[in-house]
Amino acid sequence: MLGYGNDSIKFIPYMKKRLNRLYPLYFISLIFGALYMIFVLDLDMWHTIIKAPVFILCLQTLTPYTSATGFNSPAWYVATLLWIYLFFYWFSKANQFKWGGDFCMR
């Protein structure tokens, strides 16, 4: 929000920084989640693999048609947060208020 009107913050570094912080652990937790679904819950392996791209791409919370809590239940939060980061970047760029500073975008 404090980054309103600050053009020095570019989209790619902004998202890279957030992905670097959140995604690696999220991805590993999905692998653990898949193992849990296959070996503990005895779910069909192919059924699990087919659903995997939705969770890998963090799409599970974008629509109500997929289970947001599949694979690893708490991981929905990371998916939602990454989308919010994305919205926030465009939202802050679209609104040309000059709030000064840019620490929220760093």
Partner 1 sequence: MGGGFLYAIIILSVQPLLKQTELITWIYYFSPYTRVLDFLIGVSAALLYKRYPLKIKSKLLMTILEALSLLLVIVCIIYESQIHYIFIVGIIFALCFYIFGQEKGYLSEYFALSIFRKLAKYSYSFYLIHYLVIMSMVKTLNLQNGLTGFNILMSIVMFVISALLSYILQEFTHKLKLPFTIQQSKA
H helices within 1-106, ranges in order? 11-35, 45-56, 76-94
Contacts of residue 19, Cβ cutoff 8 Å, sequence gap at least 6: 82
Q: How many CB atoms lie within 10 A of CB 29?
A: 17
Q: What's the closest the beta carbon of residue 7 comes to partner 1, in angstroms?
A: 18
List the interface residues with partner 1, window 3-42 (CB under 8 A). 4, 13, 15-17, 19-20, 22-26, 28-29, 32-33, 36, 40-41
Residue 10, both tokens? 């570019």
User: What residue ranges bind partner 1 (CB under 8 A)?
Assistant: 1-2, 4, 13, 15-17, 19-20, 22-26, 28-29, 32-33, 36, 40-41, 61-62, 64, 68, 72-78, 80-81, 83-84, 87-88, 91, 95, 97, 99, 101, 103-104
